[in-house]
Amino acid sequence: MAVSIHGTTPSISATGSASLAAKNRGSLLLSLPGYNFQGTVSPHIGNLSFLESLELANNSFGGTIPQQFGNLLRLRTLNLTSSLLEGGEIPVNLTRCSQLRELRLSGNGLTGTIPKQIGLLSNLEVIRIVRNDLTGPIPASLGNLTKLYTFAAAYNNLIGPIPETVGRLSSLSNFVVGVNNLNGTIPPSLYNLSSITILTLMYNQFQGRIPEDIGFTLPNLRSYGISLNWMSGPIPSSLCNASRLFDLDMNKNSFSGSVPVCFGSLPELLYLHMGTNNLGTNSSDDFEFVTGLTNCSQLQELGVGLNNLGGSFPDSVGNLSIQLVLLIISDNWITGSIPSGLENLVNLNMVDLSLNLFTGRIPSYFGNFSNLQGLQLQGNQFSGRIPSSLGNLTQLNRVDISSNHLEGAIPSSLGRCRQLGRLDLSANKLTGEIPTNIFKLSSLSDGLNLSRNSFTGRVPEEIGNLVNMEALDLSYNLLTGGIPGTIGDCKSLKALHMQSNSFNDSIPLELASLRIMESLDLSANNFTGGIPSDLQDIQTLQYLNLSFNDLRGEAPTKGILANASGVSLMGNPLLCGNVSELHLQDCTGIAKPSKHKRAVTVKRSLVIVFASVAFLFVSGLLIHLKIKRAKKQTFDGDSALNHFVMVSYKDLHQGTNGFSSGNLIGSGGFGTIYKGTLEQIKTPVAVKVLNNLQDRKAHKSFSAECNALKNVRHRNLVRILTYCSSLDYKGDEFKALVFEFMPNGTLEEWLHTTDRNLSLMQRLDIAVDVASGLYYLHDLCETSIVHCDLKPSNVLLDSNMAARVGDFGLARILSSDSNSKIKSSTIGIKGTIGYAPPEYGMGKAVWKEGDVYSFGILLLEMFTGRRPTDEMFKEGVNLCDFVKAAIPGRILAVLDPLMPIPVVISRGERVIGSWPAEAADGNGVEVEEMALMESATNCLVSVLEIALSCSSELPRERTKMAEVAKRLTSVRDDFAASFHVRPNRG
C-alpha cells in the first residue's frame, strides 16, 4: 500500500502491520486514519524529524506509544484516538515536542499519570485523553498552558482536587473531567474564566456550593454538567444570565431551595435535569418554574424526579415545547390528577410520574403519544381502569403501573404492543382472566409482573410464547388449574414466582428444561404428586420454595435440594426425604404395609375405636362447652391468617421444651415470647404466646397483629411464619404466633444493656432499615398501617445486624382512603411513655405522623444513648431540647460515649483517632481537644436534624417517612463513601 507524504515527492511504503521507515526528512504530514492497521506503531516514525502532523486515529494497533515520538520536535498534531493501544503510559519524552498544539490520545487504555512536565508544552491548545485508565492528580503545571482551550480527561481514575492554577487558562473553552474520582471544592478561579463554554464535572466527589454569580462570571456557558457529586445549597438564579445555555445537568446532588423561575429566559435550553436533590418545599408553588419554561421553545428533556416538589402539576405543562421527548417528575409529593394540558406533548417518548400522590384516572390520551416508549406511573393512587388506548402505542417498551388502585380487567389491546419488553401491573385490584394475547408477546424480556391482584382462571398454553422472558411473577392471585407444559419453552426464565394461588395438578416436568432458572416459588398452592427429580439438575437454581402444597413421596436429594438454606418444603406432610436439614420425615417410616398387616391393623383399630367411644363422648362433651365459649368471642385474627398453615399446640409445646423458663426470651403487655424449634421450619423460631385470653384487650392485640402482618412482606419487618389457635392440654384456649427468630436481640439491648458497642456505620444502617420498614407500612402497603408503638425494644436485629420492626400488637390499619385518619379515639392507645406522640395523650386520631414522632425519638436515642425518660430530662427540658442546643457546634457533647466515630485530636499534631477510645485511654485527652472529622460531622448533624424534624410537637410539621427514608439513605451512603466502605445494606 503506497502512502503519500504531503510536502515531499518520495513515498513511504506502509505494510499491513503499519511498519514505516523514513526515506526523506522533508515530511510534514502523515495521515492514516481509519485504515484498520494492526500490529504495533513503529518507533521508526520518530526518525521523521520534519513531521508536523501524525494522524493514526481509529486503527487497531497494539503496543504502546513509542518513546521515540519525543524526537519529533516539529510535531504540531498527534492524534492516536481509538487506536486500540495496549495501555502503557504517556511518554514523558513527548514533552520535548515544544511545538505540539494538539494531543489526542483518547480511548487507548493508557495507564500511569498525566506527566507533570506537560506544563512545558506551552503551545498546547487541545488535550484529549478521554476514556483511558489514567490515575493520579491533574498536575498543577497545567496552569502554564495559557493557550489551552480544550482539556478533556473524562472517564479515567484521576484523583485529588482541581488545581487552583487552572484559573490561569485564560483561553479555556472546554473543561471536561467527568467520571473520575476528583474531590474537594471546585476552585473559584475556574468559575472566573469567562471564556468557558463547556464545563463537565459530573460523577466525581466535589463538594461545596455553586457561586451565586456563576452566570455573570461565565456568561458564555453553554453546557454545565455537575451531576453525581456532593454539591449543596441553592441553584443560583444568575445561571439565567448565561443566555446561550442549552444543557444543564445537576442530577444527584443535595441542592435545595426552589427551581429558578427565570430558567424560562434561556431561549436555547434543550436539556434540564435536576433530579435526586432536595429541591422544593412540598408546597403549592414548587412548580412555578414549569410555567416559565413555556418560553423555552426548543426544550427536549425535563427531569426533576426524586425531590421535595409538592402541590399539583400545573396545566401549563401543556404549553411546553412540542419537541419535549422526556418528562420525569417521579418521587415527589405531587397531588391531584394528571393535567389535561399534558395531552399537547404528543412527541413524548418517556413519561415517568411514579411515586407521587396522583389520584384520579389514567388519561386515555396517553394512547395518542405514538412515540411513547416508557410509561411509569407506579406508586400513586390512580383508580379506575387501565385505558384500552394504550394498545395504540406500537413503540411502547416499558409499562409500570404497579401499586395503585386500578380495577377491572387488563385490556386485551395491550397485546398489540409488539415492542413491549416489561409490563408491571402488580399490587392493584385488577380482576378477570389474564388476556391470552399478553402471553403471546414474545418481546417481553425484562419481566411480566401481575402479582398481588385478583386474577382468576387458568394460565393458557400460550405462556410458551414468552421465549425471551427473564422474570414472571403471577403470585398472590386466584389462579387455578395446572401450569401448562409449554412453560418449558420459556428458556430465558431466571425467576418464576407463582406462589399463593390455587394451582393444582402436578408440578410440570417441563420446568426442568429451564436451565438458567435461579428462583422458583410455587408455595401456598394445591400442587400434588412428587417433586420432579430433574429439578435437581438445574445448576443455576439458588432458591426453591414448594412449601404448603400437597406434595408427596420422596424428595430428590441433589443439586439445590441438597442445600437446605435455599429450599423450603415445609407444609407437605406426605413428603419425605433423607436431607436432615429439610426436616422431612424419613421415607422408611411411611412404607406401605403388606395386605396381611393391613387386615390385622383394621381389626385392631375397630376394637380400639369401640373401646374409646364412651371416653370420647364424655370428654368431648366437656371440651365442647369450652370451645363454644371460646367461639362466642368474635376474633378476626384467625381468619386473617387463613393463608398460613396452622401448627398444633403439641408442636409448640415440644419445640419450646414445654414453654420452659430456659426458652423464655421476653414478655410484653399481652404476650410471652419463647425461643423454639419446629420440625416444619428449619431455622429457630420465636413463639409469641397470647396471655390473659379472658382479657378482651389481649384478643384485640392479637387481632391487630394478625391483621397487620397477614399481607406485609418487607425485609425490615419481622415476618410471621405460622400460627396456632387451639386448646392446650388442659382444654383451655390457646393462641400463638410464630415468627422468625432474631439472634442478635433487640436494639434496646445493644443501646443500654450490653457491653457491645454499635459503630456509627451500624447505627446508620439500622436507622435506614427502620425508616424503610415504616415507609413500607405507611405508603407501600395496599392498605396503610400505623405501628403505634415504635421503640428500641420493638426493633430486632437478625444475624447480619439488619433491623426488623416487630410487635404489631397496637397497630392500626388505616382506611383505604389515604387522606382519612382513623376516626376512633386514641385514648385507649397508650403506646410507651416518651415515644408516643403528644397528640395521642389528648385523644387525637391515629395517623402516620404518630409513628414519625416515635421514629424521631428513637433516632435521637440511637445517637445520644439517652432514653427520652432519662432522669436528666426534667423541668421542661426533654431529649429534643437537649439535642437542639448542641447543633451544630457542640454535637460531641451529646453523642453516645459508647459509639466509636472518627475524630481528629488536636494536640500539636493532627492525629486521626476514634471517639471515645482516645478520651478514655488515660492520656488525658479532653473532649475540647477533639474535633469530629468533617464527614462524620456532616453525617451526624444531618441525622440529628432529620430526627428533630420527625419529632416536632406539631404533627403537620413532621417529615413524611418516605422523605425520611430517602434522606437517611443519602446520609448513610455519603458517609460510607467518604471512608470507602460499603453500607451493610441498600
Active site residues: 789
* C-alpha span between 983 and 974 (Å, rounded): 10
C-alpha cell at 464: 410458551
Torsion angle of alpha carbons 486, 489, 494, 500, nearest 10°? 0
CB 826 within 8 A of CB 843: yes
C-alpha cell at 535: 429439578
CB 151 within 8 A of CB 118: no
Comparing C-alpha atoms, which of 751, 724, 832 is closest to residue 787? 832
* C-alpha span between 76 and 121 (Å, rounded): 11
The SS3 of residue 241 is helix
Q: In what order do the strands lie in the sheet with 278-279?
A: 159-160, 181-185, 205-209, 230-234, 254-257, 278-279
**Peptide bond just before 955 cis, omega within 30 deg:** no
> What number of CA atoms fall less than 13 Å from residue 967's CA on the CB side?
25
Residue 688 is assigned to a ligand binding site:
yes
Comparing C-alpha atoms, which of 580, 585, 582, 579 is closest to residue 545? 582
* C-alpha span between 135 and 114 (Å, rounded): 8
**What amino acid occupies position 507?**
I
CB 823 within 8 A of CB 833: no
C-alpha cell at 266: 434561556
CB 266 within 8 A of CB 240: yes
Helix (H) and strand (E) counts for the chain? 13, 55
The angle formed by the CA atoms of residues 561, 566 and 570, to the nearest 5 degrees, is 75
* C-alpha span between 160 and 163 (Å, rounded): 9
Provide the strand spans (E) within 508-614.
Answer: 519-521, 528-529, 543-545, 550-554, 567-568, 574-576
The SS3 of residue 318 is helix
* C-alpha span between 437 and 200 (Å, rounded): 47
CB 27 within 8 A of CB 51: yes
Burial 763-802 (b: 16+ CB within 10 A, else e): bbbbbbbbbbbbbbbbbbbeebbbbbbbbbbbbbbbeeeb
681-690 and 301-303 as β-strands: parallel, antiparallel, unpaired?
Answer: unpaired
Report the 10 Å Cβ neighbour count for 598: 10
* C-alpha span between 745 and 795 (Å, rounded): 9
Q: Is the dihedral of CA 488, 413, 360, 309 positive or negative?
A: positive
Which residues make beta-bridge pairs with 212? none
733-740 and 720-727 as β-strands: parallel, antiparallel, unpaired?
Answer: antiparallel
Extract the annotated binding site. 688
Extract the annotated binding site for ATP. 688
